[in-house]
Structure 1
């Protein structure tokens, strides 16, 4: 169904969903599902609303009731009439009292199937096995079933510490324990307001220099501050990864000098 829609209408920039199956997976890493991973592969962003807050996706939720009232029986003929009225005759407040057909444009991003994954800044590209593992340097690292068959990038970040990445997202690190230690969830519930360009924020360690301890504080352009999260017990390098991973957009843009790292966020 999605593939047919993408072929006809192009790829959206993002898809907003609740946290239920099949959009999210309760047992997957970061609550991802195979469907969500497929969307990511296509370059579609994931927006998740907070649990129990359907108003954060009000346009979609309201459509269900309106559709049900108008198309109950007979479903086929009524549905076609409903679509015609909904899109071409009924004005919408959210569109400035215009009809959807007046504002709709197909996405300029055509569907061309899954692109190949390449990790030029990692030491090795590894395919996740059907047993949900990464096999690297005689070590088997348990990852997640949602990534089975997907290519991930592996690179060392410190002696005997390896970072695993999927596309532009840093997933977590392994220190030869055969278990991935996940980084902060980049797909957690949030309602994203897109703005043009990349703003800057700064994660600064609130503790002894180069100690790897203490909170990392992020200051945005508007002066507001929030805590990135507590730095990992691994000094320097893990703190850098922590800062970088506060937002997926940071993964390829962060720089670390031992005290702070600059990140870009949408």
Structure 2
């Protein structure tokens, strides 16, 4: 991993994202590109400054953040940039320019607030082709990633998050917990879940990754994922951006949208496009 893009709006949730990204950069020995998108939002204290002072204020805050983490990561591994435009577009552009393999952003989970809200964070996930880690304000950020939860459902894409997740697991020597969630009584659906779980387990075995498999029946795969992640004290949940939701709570949004909004554990959101890049390495 060469670099990680970190979305920063100088609120608590982006400081949590910063902490996660620094820990990741230390482990994989990569560079961090800190990005502030100058999009007016009066709910953020930085935008209480006069417009002609926002750039100066952002630069001072960036310098303070870099100094804060200087004991963990050499200052020459940090860069920062101030961009103008839509947040999803600008973070995606920066990821391309920096050849980043990951974007890390914080979210406060309130879709009524625009910058890095849960809905805003999901727009970033949908826009970019690189994995996005979303971290809710107040999330528990551990220095190491020891346990990664991988939910498996009936969607074909459900298993496609495994290759990139394996890369992280091998980097941190983490254990993967696969949670096969039987959310339908239809035999064909259940057979698909069993098949996808078996294929994922074979991939983990081939890559010499420690793993555990658990199967459950559930009417709410989001709630079951969150509860199980707490039970195993997971450090990260690996999710596909288009993974399904159960019919009972589909109105709340996709599986990924709900996890971003509700999980107090960092969520790794992987797009189907990432599979091709990962398998080609």
TM-score category of the 2 structures, normalised to the smaller one: under 0.3
- Structure of higher RCO (CA pairs closer than 8 Å, 6+ residues apart): 2
TM-score (norm 1): 0.27
Q: Which has the larger radius of gyration?
A: 1
Relative to its length, the structure with more helix (as a share) is 2
Relative to its length, the structure with more strand (as a share) is 1
TM-score (norm 2): 0.26
